[in-house]
Amino acid sequence: MGAKKKLKRKIKSLKAKLRKKGAAPAVSPLAPAAFPDLPVIRGARFASASAGVRYKGRTDVMLALLAPGSVLAGSFTRSATRAPSVFNAQRKIGDTAADGAAILVNSGNANAFTGAEGVAAVQSICEAVAQTLGLPESRVFTASTGVIGELLPHERITAVLDQLAAELSEASLPDAARAIMTTDTFPKGAAATVEIGGVPVQIAGIAKGSGMIAPDMATMLVYIFTDARITRPVLESMVTRLTDKTFNCITVDSDTSTSDMLLVGATCQSEAPLIELDNSPAGVAFAQALGEVMRDLAHQVVRDGEGATKFIEVVVSGARSDADARRVAFAIANSPLVKTAAAGEDPNWGRIVMAVGKSGAEADRDRLSIRLGPHLVAYQGQVARSYSEEVGAAYMKNAEIVIGVDLRLGVGAATVWTCDLTNRYIEINADYRS
């Protein structure tokens, strides 16, 4: 154990050195100006506490309690090595019991790849939360984000449950956003109000993620609450469809976490009419508002991408299918060469051509056109006559960049969001953990 201690001390001093050298920005340059005002969601209360799972001097556990009558829907990572809390939540999410629900999240330890003990830790936490709050265990969801492969000290979490239960408040969602942060440089929140049958319905959500998705400190977790009156099947169908257009359309580094989880809880306590159909006017209006909150949070995750200095939107049109458009968009958004070019403010459209080519989607070099923001760069298989490097280089100086690709083959379209790939990403991830 002496050697281990020595190693740890060395790591600490090296990290401090790097921090000094790297002059890491305290907050991402792409962060929103301020944390938004979040409306009260009737029937939803929140609390956070310092359990000391890993971090000192900050909160690292959050609890959400939804009143009886709430319905829940979720999206989960498809990783084959997902954490036991994810498996546990997936098993329970379809439950339609109306006893209310609780969500407990810790940061600092992902409780992933921790074998039978990890499964038992999830069970212990769920049972303790259920007992403390008087809920059936089947209505308790838990999530963990942090280092992979270390046993979760779950008794530190259960030790603060009474404190959490005592402090539950409708106003504490912003604090919860802070408690779930890991390498995030800013807390992430978003809200919307939508009128359903003349009654305002509130939606408020929080997220964490900073690197899409570094498995050991940057898992993506999203929790959204609403007082909408909505049936579980409709909420489920909306969440699935909207996740696909928002959180499943972002990438920081193409790596997928073992713990990604999105939960949407509707307390059904608004006076608005019940949303029973996906495509009713009320359903469409609510889905639009929910989608805006989800997109806003998804964008904030990209804006806090590890080392990010550019926010990049990739818009692909004219593909043979939406799936093909998505393939092209992700090939561009995940290309290290496109991302390093953005970091270097280099209008290197040849790399966009390369990414289209390797995507596997149907493409015809001689039909392809490429835009950087409003500037047509490449057209009909070669550089556009009107394009000049000066214009491209000036455009790349923007903090927000739009890459447009038109394949001119069909009507398939997709939009995805990413950030650039900088030295800081390497520093964070080459240094982090050891």
Which residues in 61-120 contact a copy of itself (CB under 8 A)? 77, 79-82, 110, 112-118
Question: Nearest approach, Cβ of 314 to a copy of itself (angstroms)?
Answer: 15
Contacting residue, 67, 102, 206, 368, with a copy of itself by CB under 8 A: 368
Q: Which residues are catalytic?
A: 219
**Cα–Cα separations (whole angstroms), residue 363 to 316, 317, 355, 415:** 12, 12, 11, 17
DSSP 265-311: EE---SSSPPB--TTSHHHHHHHHHHHHHHHHHHHHHHHT-TT---E
Place of tokens 């500037």: 375
Q: Which is nearer to a copy of itself, 90 or 340 (CB)?
A: 340
At a CB cut-off of 8 Å and minimum separation 6, what does 239 contact? 73, 74, 75, 262, 264, 290
- The residues facing 147 across adjacent strands are 109
- The residues facing 405 across adjacent strands are 316, 370
Q: Which is nearer to a copy of itself, 12 or 358 (CB)?
A: 358
| Nearest to 264, CA basis, from 62, 74, 66, 39 | 74
Question: Nearest approach, Cβ of 135 to a copy of itself (angstroms)?
Answer: 28
What's the rounded Cα separation, in Å, for the pair 89 and 102?
Answer: 11
Asked if 378 touches a copy of itself (CB under 8 A), the answer is yes
Question: Nearest approach, Cβ of 214 to a copy of itself (angstroms)?
Answer: 6
- CB 251 within 8 Å of CB 212: yes
Asked if 376 touches a copy of itself (CB under 8 A), the answer is no
What's the rounded Cα separation, in Å, for the pair 113 and 178?
Answer: 25
| Contact range with a copy of itself by CB under 8 A, out of 97-105, 143-151, 241-249, 263-271 | 143-151
**Cα–Cα separations (whole angstroms), residue 414 to 75, 102, 313, 350, 379:** 20, 35, 10, 21, 20
Which amino acid would we find at residue 8?
K
Contacting residue, 70, 172, 243, 334, with a copy of itself by CB under 8 A: 334
For residues 192-221, which are near a copy of itself according to CB under 8 A? Answer: 211, 214-216
Question: Nearest approach, Cβ of 304 to a copy of itself (angstroms)?
Answer: 16
* CA angle at 298 for the pair 293 and 303, rounded to the nearest 5°: 125
What's the rounded Cα separation, in Å, for the pair 417 and 402?
Answer: 9
For residues 8-37, which are near a copy of itself according to CB under 8 A? Answer: none
Asked if 7 touches a copy of itself (CB under 8 A), the answer is yes
Asked if 317 touches a copy of itself (CB under 8 A), the answer is no
CA atoms within 13 A on the CB side of 429: 20
Contacting residue, 90, 123, 138, 256, with a copy of itself by CB under 8 A: 256
For residues 174-193, which are near a copy of itself according to CB under 8 A? Answer: none
For residues 337-366, which are near a copy of itself according to CB under 8 A? Answer: 337, 340-341, 343-344, 346-351, 353-359, 361-366
Q: How is residue 140 written in tokens? A: 């308790």
Number of residues forming the site for a copy of itself (CB under 8 A): 78
For residues 288-307, which are near a copy of itself according to CB under 8 A? Answer: none
Question: Nearest approach, Cβ of 136 to a copy of itself (angstroms)?
Answer: 27
Q: Which is nearer to a copy of itself, 94 or 336 (CB)?
A: 336
Asked if 153 touches a copy of itself (CB under 8 A), the answer is no
| Contact range with a copy of itself by CB under 8 A, out of 147-155, 156-164, 194-202, 241-249 | 147-155
Question: Nearest approach, Cβ of 234 to a copy of itself (angstroms)?
Answer: 30
Question: Nearest approach, Cβ of 353 to a copy of itself (angstroms)?
Answer: 5
Asked if 255 touches a copy of itself (CB under 8 A), the answer is yes
Asked if 321 touches a copy of itself (CB under 8 A), the answer is no
| Nearest to 230, CA basis, from 197, 267, 263 | 267
What's the rounded Cα separation, in Å, for the pair 289 and 313?
Answer: 21
Which amino acid would we find at residue 121?
A
Contacting residue, 257, 267, 270, 418, with a copy of itself by CB under 8 A: 257
Asked if 390 touches a copy of itself (CB under 8 A), the answer is yes
Name the DSSP class of 106.
E
What's the rounded Cα separation, in Å, for the pair 329 and 117?
Answer: 40
Asked if 323 touches a copy of itself (CB under 8 A), the answer is no
Q: Which is nearer to a copy of itself, 254 or 280 (CB)?
A: 254
| Contact range with a copy of itself by CB under 8 A, out of 29-37, 61-69, 130-138, 328-336 | 328-336
Q: What region does 209 belong to: left with phi over 0, alpha with psi -120 to 50, or beta? A: left
Question: Nearest approach, Cβ of 355 to a copy of itself (angstroms)?
Answer: 7
